[in-house]
Amino acid sequence: MTEYKEIATPSRTKEILKQHGFSFKKSLGQNFLTEPNILRKIVETAGIDRQTNVIEVGPGIGALTEQLAKNAAQVLTFEIDDRLIPVLEDTLSPYSNVTVVHKDVLKADLITTTKDVFKEELPIKVVANLPYYITTPIMMHFLESDLEVSEMIVMMQKEVADRISAKPSTKAYGSLSIAVQYFMEASIAFIVPKTVFIPQPNVDSAIIKLTKRDKPAVDVTNEKEFFKLTKASFQLRRKTLWNNLTHSYGKDETTKELLTKSLTEAEIDPSRRGETLSLEEFARLSNQLEKNRSL
């Protein structure tokens, strides 16, 4: 293959933007990375090789897509901005193993699309520089879908990455930490400074690596209720678990009796705060609530 000048260098990025008369849309959270070494490090962290199919979200002008295409079997990328489709046709023309789908990934049928695009049944990894404003919905869309994703290696605002990988009794720990860690093992791989983007965002980013667990981290009898409970427990951040639960579930006598009985049987002090409870404790409480509701 002919060697092409990499998309991600600052000079080539500016050249592409000028050539296509492209202007950034703040509403789409567009920040393009202009440091090829960081992109190569992302691909390396993700362990992408010819035995891997990759899904990318928000390719921009194709800087990360290019590095993925050089290493993966196939790359399927979702782009919502119609102005970028002709740009990507141009920048990614050297790579026959890339398919650009002009669609909002949140509205995409992931199973059907991957079956249509990927020629071989290989492990699927999600590798993306996620738009800040929609990071969590995109991640949860993949986690809650039936698509078998072995790993997600995604760039996001450092603060969100801290929340996802947080441990109990830390300031960053919350319902998002639990929602992700229930399905995946989470760890921050490395930090990306804000100076390597055009336009420059206000904060640094982080690459987070999420590896799918063989089975969820804890056994719960009702997944939906488990997530409802964890959300409720963090609603009023500085309040006790009891205050949060009565605020969400109700303050009538029947509800208070149900909560008291369940907390006692789960051996959890109602005066604790939500952020001190581990996934195991939340699972225990959720299962007791479920059990006592059916009595």
The pLDDT tens digits of the residues spanning 73-112 come to 999 999 999 999 999 999 999 999 999 999 999 999 999 9
Tell me: is residue 129 an annotated ligand-binding position.
Answer: yes
Reduced to 3 states (helix: H, G, I; strand: E, B; else coil), residue 88 is helix
Q: Which residue has the higher pLDDT, 127 or 294?
A: 127
d(CA 207, CA 26): 22
Position 234 scores a pLDDT of 96
Tell me: is residue 79 an annotated ligand-binding position.
Answer: yes
pLDDT interval class at 1 (50, 70, 90): very low
Tell me: is residue 244 an annotated ligand-binding position.
Answer: no
Give this prediction's pTM: 0.89
Architecture of the CATH domain 10-212? 3-Layer(aba) Sandwich (3.40)
Give 223-293's CATH code, choosing from 3.30.70.20, 3.40.640.10, 1.10.8.100, 1.10.760.10: 1.10.8.100
The HSE-up count of residue 219 (CA atoms within 13 Å, CB side) is 0
Q: How far is CA 240 from CA 249, 262, 271, 277, in A?
A: 14, 16, 5, 11
Tell me: is residue 121 an annotated ligand-binding position.
Answer: no
Q: Is the dihedral of CA 248, 249, 253, 256 positive or negative?
A: negative
50 φ, ψ (degrees, to nearest 5) = -70, -5
Tell me: is residue 104 an annotated ligand-binding position.
Answer: yes
Peptide bond into 199 cis (omega under 30): yes
219 within 8 A of 283, measured Cβ to Cβ: yes
- Over residues 101-143, the pLDDT tens digits come to 999 999 999 999 999 999 999 999 999 998 878 898 999 899 8
Of 281, 225, 275, nearest to 249 by C-alpha is 225
Could you give the residue ranges of the DSSP H alpha helices within the chain?
10-19, 36-46, 63-71, 85-91, 110-117, 135-144, 158-165, 175-183, 223-233, 241-249, 253-265, 279-293
22 within 8 A of 87, measured Cβ to Cβ: yes
Strand partners, 153: 127, 209
* Phi-psi group of 250: left, alpha or beta (phi > 0 → left; psi -120 to 50 → alpha; rest → beta): left
Tell me: is residue 202 an annotated ligand-binding position.
Answer: no
Q: Where are the domains of the chain?
A: 10-212, 223-293
Q: Which residues of 92-126 are buried (b: 16+ CB within 10 A; e: fewer)?
A: beebebbebbeeebeebebeebbeebbeeebebbb
- Over residues 193-235, the pLDDT tens digits come to 999 999 899 999 999 999 999 999 999 999 999 999 999 999 9
- Hey, what are 28's tokens? 């789409």
